[in-house]
Structure 1
Amino acid sequence: MSFRDDNEDGRGGGGDLRKPFLHTGSWYRMGSRQSSSMMGSTAGFRDSSISVLACVLIVALGPIQFGFTCGYSSPTQSAITKDLNLTVSEFSLFGSLSNVGAMVGAIASGQIAEYIGRKGSLMIAAIPNIIGWLAISFATDSSFLYMGRLLEGFGVGIISYTVPVYIAEIAPQNLRGGLGSVNQLSVTIGILLAYLLGLFVPWRILAVLGVLPCTILIPGLFFIPESPRWLAKMGMMEDFEASLQVLRGFDADISLEVNEVKRAVASAGRKQAIRFADLKRKRYWFPLMVGIGLLVLQQLSGINAVLFYSSTIFEAAGVTNGNMVTCIVGALQVLATAVTTWLIDRAGRRVLLIVSTIGMTLSILLVAVSFIVKDFISSDSNLSNILGILSVVGVLAMVVTFSLGMGAIPWVIMSEILPVNIKGLAGSTATLANWFIVWLVTVTANLLLTWSAGGTFIIYTVVSAFTVAFVSLWVPETKGRTLEEIQSSFR
């Protein structure tokens, strides 16, 4: 049993099946040849960082949509259940269906991105997102809510794989970590926007506002180049060089990078099919294990349980205004992720991951001990109030330390280390594993918290401690290395 190599159809008789869905190659070829006439009035775009940054800001609308979808259910629960006469279980199903849709999208994401390109994949993701939000905004019963949530989830599943891969493939090696972290930063911004707007805007209007990111993303995709590495894999060398020239600046010398990518593509192209037996080779199993391991452990830490049920956790700790504290949690996520975006290419991936996982372990342990001790003392005592404050501090510290590393960096590393000839299958598998664990954690978290808040956080503490060991032993440092250098190091 085998699956076809990503390069096989791009240069063989089946090459016509794989063309960019949004093909703007001729525009960029003309731009690269006539840079003085076309770009003379826009000298800023000759700077490679500005050109790449513009592309990243456009595709970052996808993760903002992702975050908005995740945050939508929190501020709208009471209004939706009241207006549509939903039970708690029906609304819980509504909230969880985005994870189910995301799993379906994750399964398809790798192959869609390989067959029609990264931009085409994002276009495919944007359309069901728009339809889903409109279905929710006009819903008169639970069926439209469920349909809309599934469609949103499907689009989010594709976005969660495609955006980090696109950013990794277009970014210069010295900026790749910071630009890759923009993906998670955008997710946290989307969550915060949903929290804040949900305090003031009715749930139907909030759903209409959810259409905006993808509505802007669709036309924006026509103004950015396709991933040059994907074009090279497809054998479209003229478009590949034109795209890379636009991204690096029309005055930049790209010959070294062009040759490096061509060598990597040629090396991958020598093997026409990858059999599952081949995955036993270290060059395949090791990066696959690291990518899947990081994305699974990211969710097993319980971060989504904390975010989804923050109000319940804070109420158990004695906080009266749960919605306000939830907004504070969202703001802290944005700030901490912004710090990661600034630090990742300076400090490195491994250092931030180790600091993040150690901080999470200590923070969750503080929450666990606070809840366990609180169960054995009088609720009217001063110690109970102190423990309540400590548990809130621990939850906030967990969110901050998660955002400093484990939030953004697993997606960055996944997009960097997967070998080019298994990236579609391996990336889909890693993304699917991540979304399955998201679903599993959110489904079980409420039951676990009802059983024992202290016991729940002890479980998350053990997982975080294991994550420290996993990162320390197996996660490679990818800072300052090209994608080709990273992938060749596994051979």
Structure 2
Amino acid sequence: MLQKVIAILLPNTVLEVVEDLAEVVSVVAVASTSVLYGLMTGWAAVLPRLQDDSSAPFNLTDQDVATLVSMTSFIGVVPSLFSGVLVECLGPRRLLLGVITPVLGLWLMMAFTPYKSLLYVGRAGVAVCTYLEEAILNPLLAELSPASIRGMAMTGVSISSSVGTLVAYLLAHLTDFTTATASRVAILFVVVVLMCFVPESPYWFVRRGRVEEARSSLRRLLHSEPAVEKEVSAIRASPSSTQTSIADQFVALRRGQNARPVLLVLILYVLRELGGRNAILQYSVYIFRRGGVSMNPFTCTVLLGTTKLLFSIVSAYTMDRAGRRPLLYGSAGVCGLALGLAGIFLQLEVHGTSWFPLMALLLYVACYGLGLGPVMGVYLGELLPTPVRSLAVSIITVSYTLAMFAINFVFLKILSLIGVGATLIIMAAMNLIMVPLVLKFIPESAGITLQELELSFTSTKRNRDTEDI
């Protein structure tokens, strides 16, 4: 529809430029859906406001906070288990739009409810929609983006998530609980409108045997009919073109070239969670309060969100130039060192260094935004073989959300039991473990087509990559 409107309104001399714009709109619209994850994660920053509000309709305890923060990942396991089946039945684009829209009403319910029980219900509903969105997002974006800009396009996911987190932090800092929660609706409404212009995945159409619809989808993304036919041929030649069921994907997952990348990406995702990714972003106000930072903890949290966003933008410009691997192992190493030094300073109670935890966490989120966050998202779309992609995303999402739930549920208790310093040291070790894993086993994927990446973990190719390292 967008292409027809463009053709009518604009002369042929500028049509090619606008076609590029139409492709950009599709990529940006899909990537922007990750703002939902940032808004959900950053919402935890407003809970201290609700706790401190004497006029609130109900009392919110620390245990309530821990439950509200951690329940999202636990509840997210259920939709993650079925995301692959739903994608294959409905199509990733249709499902993505369908899970974002109900969140508008859920945020309004959470903002204005006089009952604590409805706050829990709304949080649970947002969690279901968000984890379905996250499971669909990266594979769909990888299938819609050309290899030459896929890294930059998929880095948009991290940028969008960072925007959502920063907005949530700013709202928590500047407004009350009701305003901060209800304001999310305006942002998500824009995302829903943008998604209406996105075509369905041509890969999904081919898997369903609907080749003509795949061509129609590609015509909205590519500039010429020969390019459309070339892409259709490449998709049809891939091993996944005849696989339409999760049962087929379970069979394919038994093959070593499919199982190896899934296992490696799963391990990296779990280590990233154990390394504090979600806990630091959701409990930042509590960390700064208990870490003895003299600055206003809400101001510190806004600085974290700003830093994460800025370096996510930098990552978009460096992803396809510097490569995925250097950004990933470099950022993981620096994240580990930053958290480790902050933990040591807090454990030793070095006098006059109350500012150091803030500087260390700023360095952590900077490196996370530069590499550890966006590269992992890119790899979720790139390294997972097409024959098992839907199933693999479900398995990985379930695994790391369980790890996230366990960490978030006990995090405040861990802080009380062993202190902020020891907690940061443990997280540092998890980040540092990732470095040798990436150096040893993960290939570079910048500029490589999805069809070529499917061969990256065959025995011959794997041995050659190891020798090159």
- Give your verdict on TM over 0.5: yes
CA 1:93–1:256 in 2, change beyond 3 Å: closer, same or farther? same
Partner of 1:107: 81
CA 1:64–1:113 in 2, change beyond 3 Å: closer, same or farther? same
Partner of 1:484: 451
Identify which of 425, 432, 443 aligns with 2:391.
425
Could you say what secondary structure the match of 2:102 adopts? helix
Partner of 1:463: 430
Partner of 1:57: 28
Give me the whole-angstrom Cα distance separating, in 2, the residues matched to 1:275 and 1:237. 21
Give me the whole-angstrom Cα distance separating, in 2, the residues matched to 1:312 and 1:197. 17
Unaligned segments of structure 1, at least 5 residues: 1-26, 375-382
Could you say what secondary structure the match of 1:488 adopts? coil
CA 1:128–1:36 in 2, change beyond 3 Å: closer, same or farther? closer
Amino acid across the alignment from 2:375: I
Amino acid across the alignment from 2:285: S
Identify which of 302, 318, 331 aligns with 2:306.
331
**Match runs of 1:39-188 below 5 Å:** 40=11, 43=14, 46=17, 49-79=20-50, 82=53, 83=56, 84-188=58-162
**1:223-253, CA deviations, whole angstroms, 9 ceiling, x for partnerless residues?**
2211111111111111111211221225773
Contact 1:360 1:397 in 2 (8 A): yes
Contact 2:274 2:407 in 1 (8 A): yes
**1:15-65, CA deviations, whole angstroms, 9 ceiling, x for partnerless residues?**
xxxxxxxxxxxx58x95xx98557647935656643322012222332112
Identify which of 336, 339, 357 aligns with 1:361.
336
Could you say what secondary structure the match of 2:293 adopts? coil
Could you say what secondary structure the match of 1:100 adopts? helix
Give me the whole-angstrom Cα distance separating, in 2, the residues matched to 1:272 and 1:390. 49
Give me the whole-angstrom Cα distance separating, in 2, the residues matched to 1:399 and 1:171. 27
CA 1:78–1:48 in 2, change beyond 3 Å: closer, same or farther? same
CA 1:268–1:149 in 2, change beyond 3 Å: closer, same or farther? same
Amino acid across the alignment from 2:26: C
**1:193-219, CA deviations, whole angstroms, 9 ceiling, x for partnerless residues?**
011122233322222222223333334
TM-score by length of 1: 0.86
Give me the whole-angstrom Cα distance separating, in 2, the residues matched to 1:480 and 1:436. 33
Give me the whole-angstrom Cα distance separating, in 2, the residues matched to 1:442 and 1:184. 21
Structure 1 window deviating more from structure 2 (95-104 vs 477-486): it is 95-104
Give me the whole-angstrom Cα distance separating, in 2, the residues matched to 1:192 and 1:391. 19
CA 1:322–1:37 in 2, change beyond 3 Å: closer, same or farther? closer
Amino acid across the alignment from 2:431: S
Amino acid across the alignment from 1:116: L
**Match runs of 1:241-260 below 5 Å:** 241-250=215-224, 253-260=227-234
Partner of 1:17: none
2:379 aligned with 1:405: no
Partner of 1:239: 213
**Match runs of 1:276-425 below 5 Å:** 279-315=253-289, 316-374=291-349, 383-386=350-353, 388-425=354-391
Structure 1 window deviating more from structure 2 (224-233 vs 272-281): it is 272-281
TM superposition shift of 1:397: 1.0
TM superposition shift of 1:146: 0.4
TM-score by length of 2: 0.89
TM superposition shift of 1:284: 1.6
Give me the whole-angstrom Cα distance separating, in 2, the residues matched to 1:263 and 1:183. 29
Amino acid across the alignment from 2:380: M
Partner of 2:467: none
CA 1:101–1:41 in 2, change beyond 3 Å: closer, same or farther? farther
TM superposition shift of 1:443: 1.7
Instruction: Count how many residue pairs are aligned between Structure 1 and Structure 2.
Output: 453
CA 1:250–1:222 in 2, change beyond 3 Å: closer, same or farther? farther
Unaligned segments of structure 2, at least 5 residues: 459-469
**Match runs of 1:185-224 below 5 Å:** 185-224=159-198
Contact 1:135 1:147 in 2 (8 A): no
**1:162-201, CA deviations, whole angstroms, 9 ceiling, x for partnerless residues?**
1211111010101001100111110110010011122233
Give me the whole-angstrom Cα distance separating, in 1, the residues matched to 2:261 and 2:7. 43
Identify which of 427, 440, 444 aligns with 1:473.
440
TM superposition shift of 1:275: 7.5
Contact 1:47 1:249 in 2 (8 A): no
CA 1:91–1:362 in 2, change beyond 3 Å: closer, same or farther? closer
Contact 2:243 2:249 in 1 (8 A): no
Amino acid across the alignment from 2:454: Q
Contact 2:66 2:412 in 1 (8 A): no
Identify which of 394, 410, 416 aligns with 1:444.
410
Give me the whole-angstrom Cα distance separating, in 1, the residues matched to 2:385 and 2:283. 37
